[in-house]
Structure 1
């Protein structure tokens, strides 16, 4: 639980855990399941990128996909600590802030690479003639390094100032410059990418409707893919961000029980947000016919005979 602020000692946190033991055991179990399934899926996908596809020699989009999966893996690695905290409420301040730094960094990287992939596909499908933009986007190694460095700098405030939960001896958080910067980064890295995804998806679908005359199956698959990405993003991150905004707005302005209710809702939506790490490889990697066949042949050979040949490539994977 990241965001409990009882304006007293850690006894308030333990009291909340004791009163909602069954709920937080459920939250902890969900996180453990997400950790196991997500880590297995992402590790197998990244294994193919490194040892079979050799992403550094492959298509531009493969480098972005590799970084997306890497960010999801690094985010998943911290989930056992999150599951433990859901049950025990024993947080060392240093461990808490390091975990939050890694969580902010890797979730931000995951969203950033998801967004850059959508932008790349948008220009490849809707504006293939804009070669200058495409040449810039094809500098995927440099863009990837820039994203990691930029997010690392922007995430430093998560270490410098407590995130409400990391220091419950504080009498609330003052809206100082560090806290304000941290919250701006938090909401910006969710809201702006969401609107970019929606715009790119709508334009891609309209363009595909114009190009895919008579090829309804391929059109439906492409439309399903881009729509699914937006829906998954909206379900995983928007409720989580909205609840965070409500939590900040009501901090210090509502009764103790109301704060606890908001915290419980936030923690549940935080668990939901980790589902994105499980779905990213499916939506982005396994949506490619070539990658899907390679994955099945490597890890699910018993399904290989049941799969029909599929030579269609993912949208704009040039």
Structure 2
């Protein structure tokens, strides 16, 4: 049995004081913003055609997560005492992960679609149908569910103490969870992020190099590029970086290796959890811009045919 007393104690009191008010704020703002965004989306349903399917699924993923927040608020307000049972703990964490990776997946789909509509309108025009977007959405849900499912098989409580609900796992399985988390980060975040960055990087170059592109439409597309990059940079990158770093610090602690930065990493990890949940409140910004007409970079197509 490893003696953890040799390492300085991490202050866990920060979690409850910090997360509770932010979770409440995100829950209220997120529900209002997503409700308003989905209402706006449905009002323009006939006009939006294909891309609305991805935006609709993005909103559903956000609402799925927001509905789990009240249970987490109760958990942290009772000083990390989970009263809803181990099974529901795993379901709550599963919903969080599905929302997180689902949001990333559908943001990536929106980016790819905008890229094709702007840069390759002639090649893809008429080939991508509403049925295709529905099938792609189903595939995204299946992929994120498969990625998140192994997390449910890791213990979420401390041995026989069912009053805990870990967002990762206990110390006995932390080495395996770190390996799983690194693979999860690669497939669920890094690859979609690079795809999104590549698509909109190319779009930005095309829009700024073609003088015939309408300035208003150019600004709208670049604004969506900024929003998506902001969502990835602010909401997601810190979360994945500090989650894996904290898991690594726990592995080192088990080996009796101690560093002063452990407590700082823990606090940064909690802040990153707040940042990542903010995506549910910020994603409605995508609703405002994803359905706007996109500039066509080919003389052979019109704006109305792209969406």
Global fold match (TM > 0.5):
yes
1:269 alignment counterpart:
272
Matching of residues 44-63 of structure 1 within 5 Å: 44-50=36-42, 52-54=43-45, 58-63=48-53
Matching of residues 298-317 of structure 1 within 5 Å: 313-314=293-294
Q: In the aligned structure 2, how far is the partner of 1:80 from the partner of 1:287?
A: 30
Following superposition, the deviation at residue 256 of structure 1 comes to 8.9
Matching of residues 166-181 of structure 1 within 5 Å: 166=165, 170-176=170-176, 180-181=179-180
Q: Structure 1 unaligned segments of length 5 or more: list them.
A: 1-5, 292-311
Query: What is the root-mean-square deviation of aligned Cα atoms in Å?
Result: 3.2
Point out the more displaced range, 250-259 or 76-85. 250-259
Matching of residues 1-318 of structure 1 within 5 Å: 16-17=12-13, 20=14, 24-50=16-42, 52-54=43-45, 58-87=48-77, 88-91=79-82, 92-131=85-124, 134-135=127-128, 139-162=132-155, 166=165, 170-176=170-176, 180-181=179-180, 183-213=182-212, 215-254=214-253, 255=258, 258-282=261-285, 284-287=286-289, 313-314=293-294, 318=307
Q: Does structure 2 retain, via aligned residues, the 8 Å contact 1:60–1:140?
A: yes
Q: Structure 2 unaligned segments of length 5 or more: list them.
A: 158-163, 297-305
SS at match of 1:251: helix
Q: In the aligned structure 1, how far is the partner of 2:130 from the partner of 2:247?
A: 37
Following superposition, the deviation at residue 217 of structure 1 comes to 4.1
Q: Does structure 2 retain, via aligned residues, the 8 Å contact 1:187–1:241?
A: no
Q: In the aligned structure 2, how far is the partner of 1:183 from the partner of 1:138?
A: 34
Following superposition, the deviation at residue 314 of structure 1 comes to 4.9
Cα 1:137–1:85 change in 2 (3 A) is: same
Q: Does structure 1 retain, via aligned residues, the 8 Å contact 2:243–2:269?
A: yes
Following superposition, the deviation at residue 279 of structure 1 comes to 1.5
Query: Per-residue displacement from partner, 1:18-61 (whole Å, max 9, x unpaired)?
Result: xx3xx6323210111011001111122223434x3346x85110
SS at match of 1:130: helix
Q: Does structure 1 retain, via aligned residues, the 8 Å contact 2:50–2:129?
A: no
The answer to which structure, 1 or 2, has the higher relative contact order (CA under 8 A, 6+ apart) is: 2
Q: In the aligned structure 1, how far is the partner of 2:194 from the partner of 2:248?
A: 23
Following superposition, the deviation at residue 229 of structure 1 comes to 1.3
Following superposition, the deviation at residue 212 of structure 1 comes to 4.3
- TM-score, L = length of structure 2: 0.78
Task: State how many pairs are aligned.
Answer: 279
- TM-score, L = length of structure 1: 0.76
Following superposition, the deviation at residue 99 of structure 1 comes to 1.1
